[in-house]
Amino acid sequence: MEKRARVLIDCEDAKGLVYKISKVFYDRDLNIDNNREFVDKEHGRFFMRTVVSGLFDVEELLTELKTVTPADAHIRVIEPKDKKIVILATKESHALGDILIRHADGELGATIECVIANHDTLETLVRRFDIPFFHVPADNMSREEHESLMMKLVDEFEFDNIVLAKYMRILTPAFVKAYPQQIINIHHSFLPAFIGANPYKQAFERGVKIIGATAHYVTDDLDEGPIIAQDVIPVNHRLTWRDMQRAGRDGEKIVLSRALALVLNDRVFVNGNKTVIF
């Protein structure tokens, strides 16, 4: 039975890679439905995303691709299907609500396994969509103790990504290390400007003429992980920082959903502290 797959390859750059990889597809009588490639000349890295269709065995195709690519090649052959996500939240509803609506409309491209929050503020909203909601309060315990409870709950589910939908807590290195390149955050500023707490107030005090939102992978460096998507909103001197905050919420939810679409469709390669997006 004919099927499709997304073939993702990143490796050391070498002469003839596009030809060699394409020949594998040709020799197997596979159609190339879509293809993009990029070479990071500064670091000598090659990136390629190809959508193929036809009759193939995933493991056999993977094995053959390894024979024509450098030894360090990271190759994934992914048959398209809905991914699974776990969402962490706190009290703010706009980013979470947008994801829930897209999920309900069949537009998300993922199944929401559960929502976990350190406050119960959003429980009623989440349960309206028949999504499991778990409240893990952080009162009277250390950050490490709270995260231990969070991780125990998260690990009860199978998932591809953890989405921080305005989860307003700094994650410990232990949490980040447990889920490398799986945690996606929405930050309410145009990074790298105004990292950390209350960036709208920082932007207001600086007198900026644009505010923005940034979706990025979470690393140990606060708000400095590889950027997936960004957008900006023009502002002026008439707005208070709270006005900016209200205006920015639309940008936050749109940027987060845009980033999720890219990740869930396997369009994002992490390249050091940057991303290559096809």
Domains delineated in the chain? 3-78 (3.30.70.260), 83-277 (3.40.50.170)
Q: Label the pairing between strands 45-54 and 31-40.
A: antiparallel
Span 13-70, pLDDT tens digits? 999 999 999 999 999 999 999 999 999 999 999 999 999 999 999 999 999 999 999 9
Helix (H, G, I), strand (E, B) or coil at 58: helix
Catalytic annotation, pick one of 223, 231, 250, 266: 223
Three-class SS state of 57:
coil
- What number is the average pLDDT over the span 235-257? 84
**Whole-number Å distance between alpha carbons of 218 and 175:** 10
In whole angstroms, how far apart are CA 123 and each of 148, 160, 168? 21, 23, 17
Structure tokens at 200: 């709208």
Across the range 77-82, mean pLDDT stands at 93
pLDDT in tens, 111-156: 999 999 999 999 999 999 999 999 999 998 899 999 999 999 999 9
**Percent share of the chain, pLDDT over 70:** 96
pTM > 0.85: yes or no: yes
**Rounded CA gap, 232 and 219, in Å?**
23
Active site residue 223: yes
Q: Mind giving me the DSSP string for 103-164?
A: HHTT-SSEEEEEEEESSSTTHHHHHTTT--EEE---TTS-HHHHHHHHHHHHTTS--SEEEE
Identify any residues that bridge with 12 across adjacent strands, giving them in sequence order: 45
Instruction: Measure CA of the first residue to CA of the last residue in the chain; give whole Å.
Output: 28
Q: Is residue 167 scored above 70 in pLDDT? A: yes
Average pLDDT of every residue of the chain: 92
CB-facing half-sphere around the CA of 184: CA atoms within 13 A: 29
How large is the average pLDDT for residues 92-103?
A: 96
Please give the backbone phi and psi of residue 95, each rounded to the nearest 5 degrees, phi first.
Answer: -70, -45
Confidence class of residue 89 from pLDDT cuts 50, 70 and 90? very high
Q: What is the pLDDT of residue 238?
A: 82
pLDDT of residue 235: 81
Q: Tell me, what's the pLDDT at 37? A: 97
d(Cα 105, Cα 102) in Å, to the nearest integer?
Answer: 5
Cα distance between residue 278 and residue 35, in whole Å: 9
Mean pLDDT of 160-178: 94
Residue 226 has pLDDT above 70, yes or no: yes
Run of H or E including 99: helix 94-104
Higher pLDDT, 209 or 213: 213
